Structure 1
Amino acid sequence: MNDFPSIVQVEDVSKRFLLHKDKSLKERVMFLGRARKRVEDFWALQDVSMDIATGSTVGLVGHNGSGKSTLLKVIGGIIQPTSGSVVRRGRMAALLELGAGFHPDLSGRENVYLNAAILGLSHQETDRHFDAIVEFSGIEDFIDTQVKFYSSGMYVRLAFSVAVHVDPDLLLVDEVLAVGDEPFQRKCMDKIAEFQAEGRTIVLVSHSSDQVGRLCDRVVVMQSGSMIHDGDPAEGIRVLRDGYEADRMSDLQLAREVEPQASRISIEDVTSHTVIGDGSVDVVVLVTVDVQEATPGWGMGIAIETTLGMRIYSSDTFALKHAMPTSIGRHTIQVVLPDVRLGAGKYLVSVGVALASRETVDRRPNAAAFDMPNDEFSTGLLRIRPNWQVDPAIKAI
């Protein structure tokens, strides 16, 4: 393999699917004479070209329907392109769909041999690897049970275990890893890291930007069947998140157009940004409210969430005993969160206002977003500069 700089070569690949407007067989019969008019072309891929170097780990990311999974299936030979070509070298293992290659009426044991044969192992080679495959999967007690009785997690365990034990030069992995439980996902990540250390090539489709940023040395961002970024993972994740932010703002604008105004107090605008100082990052949130009726005792709350919806911070003026303006008119409230130690990435701000009785009168979920800058010394949800010491004179704490 080392004689070839590229293990996969994709040249001008396009893939067309036919979308039928008819919703049932009855409609197809009724409109038989106009069948061509009731079919639309959908180009899942359009003129995609890329070379994947041997030993690299490439992440394919993008919105749902962007073409990333279609591209992975074309690379794996599962579907053929409408035009263009794909050249692969070496042994390939693919985890593209849940339970692909499994027969539901066969036992787990029988499916191990069937799936291994599909992936290129002989019966004797599978015999040598069988115990390791079963041990890695962790489903020893069910190996002789028909797989139609397996849970989705058991499917993934066994399929992944077979794939990584066929000694592949190229491993293709779709989002199926998200189905396994957390301990098994860690085991899978450890196995992928082992493959990387051995110089194997991995192409990964994932919706987890943290996973892609941690594992991949190259990121390809797909949009409407075309590549809009191919290169640095950090830049690729930024491009992806900017796309999500544009969609979120569009949805938010539509929601505001149809949402009725609150009777007493309404939120008119929310913005947020960061202020980078000397070693610290402040988050500033500006909220404009319209007080339409003098309302004593009302309050405001804010919350910060990740793009995946995990709440990491919330606070309100009721707990802080902070009085809000009661005069009729528009008011701008500034909230400064000093020295926020969040890891790099995009975060969403939600805002709500409530009466003294705690009755919510207006709420703007995911109303604004801010970006935390890249951190050269750590990754993850928190930004912490560690103090590493070798053989220090440590006093007991």
Structure 2
Amino acid sequence: MTGSTAIVVEGVSKRFKVYKSRPTSLKERVTRFARDRYEEFWALDDVSLEVPEASVYGLVGHNGSGKSSLLRLMANIHRPTKGRIVANGRISALLELGAGFHPDLTGRENIYLNAAILGFRRRDTDKILDEIVEFSGIEPFIDTPVKHYSSGMYVRLGFSVAVHVDPQILLIDEVIAVGDEEFQRRCFEHLYRLRNRGVTIVMVTHSLGLVQSMCSRAAWLDHGKLLAEGPAGDVVHHYVSKVNEREAERFEHEAEAASELGVPEGGLDVEASLRPLSIEAVEFLGSDGQPTQVALSLEPLTVRIRYRASEPVESPLFSFAVESANGVHVATPGMRPDDRRSEVLVDEGYVDYRIDQLALAPGEYLLSTAVHDRHGMIRFDHQQRCAKLHVQRSSRSVPGLVDLLGRWEAPVGPRAEALR
């Protein structure tokens, strides 16, 4: 392991025994000994990866893919059946609500208990106690037994302890999502500060937007196998593409089942026939109104989304997301329910998003599109990274990623008047 690597996972596999039935008495144990059977379940299968120091690393995948099992192996809660994990630094883990909390102890007492488990002496905990309590936001209840806490209070206190005991490696398993909006924002702000201080963060999350915006690298697990590892944007792209493929297969199976039941097939493709509205294509039109794949910074551009409606749809909401080549989420222009549009889409057509000045810097960008019902609650269709746009430099350059398209103004004061 190099000095720039926080965690090394080498050929790790983890097996669990899933018993079909367990004896409830000594008699059953003796008489059914030969018949006792269990199934082997491999939560992880030959997984190898490296987590760089001072980075945020994401683990993505469906429920049951092995993400949490890998995180518990990193935390040394479980031991690998095969392979090894080497961690270079002190680990603090927040893997579930109230992990390590004693229900009969108060919040204050549990702070000292958790800190002691992580190797802190009492006088060291004394120095950070007030900071932990203040961050958690549950000061009025800090001397109340935690068995009376709500799930939100549990996660507030647990997260606050985990991030304030000076970790070198912080492991987080989705628990931030339990907190309210204000606390989640405080958590993310603190995580950014920890990252800037050089703390390595490994998180399991189903929020792909969070992985793209916060993580530098990620790994995609599927049924215990590592399917992709690398820059977060690329991993998310591969993961979403596979999810879309599986969804398309599901639609195809549903269509086949409907056909066997005698349901007449339409002339549209499978996906469109099962949805009232589907996205057919995304096009770009230059300032001359002609299709193009190359746009100029600070010049006009039109994004045209072509659709197909298998039945009349009233006032659907279209949107698209712009992502840079390295996976940075740039913008998501979209129609809103309060736009009070009132039209019914039928057959085939398109909607345009007109940009007077393209604020993007030169580079390559990927667009994902979606269309929802008029209330924004039901998604009819979603196409991930379905169009690529190349932006070139125009007569005016755009430093950074985007141009804010503002203008500088200076008030006219006495000194300015005197210089006239």
Q: Which AA in structure 1 matches 2:115?
A: A
Distance 1:179 1:311, change over 3 A: farther
Q: Which AA in structure 1 matches 2:282?
A: T
User: Number of paired residues?
Assistant: 356
Deviations 1:294-328 (A, max 9, x none): xxxx6666445899xx996489xx93367x5xxxx
SS in 2 for 1:135: helix
Q: Tell me, which stretches of 5 or more residues in structure 1 are unaligned?
A: 291-297, 325-331, 353-363, 378-382
SS in 2 for 1:63: coil
SS in 1 for 2:6: strand
Structure 1 position 213 matched with structure 2 position 212: yes
SS in 2 for 1:199: coil
Distance across 2 between alignment mates of 1:196 and 1:10: 21
1:359 corresponds in structure 2 to none
Deviations 1:143-175 (A, max 9, x none): 011111111111111011111111111111110
For 1:172-191, what aligned pairs fall within 5 Å after superposition? Answer: 172-191=171-190
Compute the displacement of 1:272 (Å): 2.5
State which of 300, 319, 335 in structure 1 corresponds to 2:350.
335
1:328 corresponds in structure 2 to none
Q: Which AA in structure 1 matches 2:303?
A: D
Q: Which AA in structure 2 matches 1:387?
A: L
TM-score (norm 2): 0.73
2:73 corresponds in structure 1 to 74
SS in 1 for 2:35: helix
1:380 corresponds in structure 2 to none
For 1:210-359, what aligned pairs fall within 5 Å after superposition? Answer: 210-259=209-258, 261=263, 268=273, 270-277=278-285, 278=295, 280=301, 282-287=303-308, 289=310, 302-304=316-318, 313=335, 319-320=342-343, 332-339=347-354, 346-349=368-371
2:396 corresponds in structure 1 to none
Q: Which AA in structure 2 matches 1:9?
A: V
1:327 corresponds in structure 2 to none
Q: CA RMSD of the aligned region, Å?
A: 4.0
Q: Which AA in structure 1 matches 2:405?
A: N
Is the contact made by 1:274 and 1:281 (CA closer than 8 Å) also made in structure 2?
A: no
Compute the displacement of 1:262 (Å): 8.5
Distance 1:249 1:22, change over 3 A: farther
Distance across 2 between alignment mates of 1:347 and 1:321: 20
1:10 corresponds in structure 2 to 9
Structure 1 position 100 matched with structure 2 position 114: no
Is the contact made by 2:241 and 2:384 (CA closer than 8 Å) also made in structure 1?
A: no
Per mean C-alpha deviation after superposition, the further-off stretch among 298-307 and 106-115 is 298-307
Deviations 1:75-109 (A, max 9, x none): 11111111111111221110111110101111111
TM-score (norm 1): 0.76
Distance across 2 between alignment mates of 1:206 and 1:393: 44
Distance across 1 between alignment mates of 2:23 and 2:244: 37
Is the contact made by 2:8 and 2:85 (CA closer than 8 Å) also made in structure 1?
A: yes
Identity of aligned residues (%): 36
Distance across 1 between alignment mates of 2:383 and 2:94: 35
Per mean C-alpha deviation after superposition, the further-off stretch among 143-152 and 50-59 is 50-59
Distance across 1 between alignment mates of 2:39 and 2:354: 53
Deviations 1:361-392 (A, max 9, x none): xxx96355353668999xxxxx9852255xx2
Structure 1 position 35 matched with structure 2 position 40: no
